[in-house]
Amino acid sequence: MPRTVPPWEIKRELLTKTRDTTNPKYGHVPSQRPAKEYIQYGTINLDKPAGPTSHEVAAWVKKIMHLNGIGHGGTLDPKVTGVLPITLEDATKVVQAFLYSGKEYVCVMKLHGDAKEEQIKPVLSEFEDEIYQRPPLRSSVKRQLRTRRIYYIDYLETDGRNVLFKVGCEAGTYIRKLCFDIGEILGVGAHMQELRRTRSGPFTENSASKVTLHDVAYWFGEWEQKKDEATLHKFIVPMEEALALLPKIVVRDSAVDALCHGANLTAPGVLQVTSGIQKGSILAIFTLKGEAVALAKALVSTEEMLDLKHGAVAALERVLMPRGTYPKVWKSGGEHEPAQP
């Protein structure tokens, strides 16, 4: 069975429909935002330690940085370590993107009986593709049967009854339940002994941006003392990085404010679009400066977006940019298509 391609291995090409320029008076290149905005629209690739819950870790970051709001990209159990994206202030709006970007874990599974490597490997491969799962008793969601996609399970090694494997999966997959089910198929029983998340969407444990709670406290303290904006870049990345694995559309400046008011994107506003978009795909809309404007659902395919002259091409799911960042150049009411020049 061919393995399902995870989101981080999908190759997309940015195709140009037409060209335009952007006015430097409005907005900012994400990496060049002023300090206050850089924090307000920032994310942290945090390496969660064992012990605290994900909510506690987020609350500590909120307290350290004196923030009004904070979020995180996917709950980890207290004993689980690894990649926990933290979204700051208004960047919490991009948390939804992690639902479409996939996760990767390294797991130690404890077998309750003896099993050989040649028995374990084929059973692991049986769980690749779409599986059914009912969340475990100790979960924060309703315990109803649902499907989740396993992109791959790579066997690494066995030490006695401990089995080490790496799994790439869709967000919302319970690795604890996966271990239990593997044990049932092997006929010996099993449970999850240790777990580390090595990837959440575009953020990985090997990224240069990865930091610890101690790093956050240290660098934020340095910034408070010296007000050197370069210090913020040592532990915060723009929220746009959280959207890196989503297909995208780049729009002209004149379409931006209409989108910020909730208008659907129409064909005249499109400048560039990535390949492989299908009707129903969740995508991100960007300015020419690389700023995230909104999350949207595609109403047509990439090919149709490139060909269409009129009509809606994407329906907004979540506005990410505040109104007024770019000037209003559209008329209210009537049949005028707002998200066009």
Q: Which residues are catalytic?
A: 77
**In this structure, what token pair is assigned to residue 277?**
């978009």
Q: Is 27 exposed, middle or buried (0-12, 13-18, 19+ CB in 10 A)?
A: buried
Determine the Cα–Cα distance for residues 97 and 285; give it in Å rounded to an integer: 12
Determine the Cα–Cα distance for residues 292 and 285; give it in Å rounded to an integer: 6
Of 109, 130, 134, 131, nearest in space to 120 by CA? 109
DSSP-assigned beta bridge partners for residue 133 = 146
Determine the Cα–Cα distance for residues 87 and 73; give it in Å rounded to an integer: 8
The CA angle 212-294-253, to the nearest 5 degrees, is 115
Query: Identity (one letter) of the amino acid at 255?
Result: A
Query: Identity (one letter) of the amino acid at 214?
Result: H
Contact 172, 99 (CB under 8 A): yes
Of 286, 302, 244, 337, nearest in space to 22 by CA? 286
DSSP 59-119: HHHHHHHT-S-EEESS---TT-EEEEEEEEGGGGGGGGGGGGT-EEEEEEEEESS---HHH
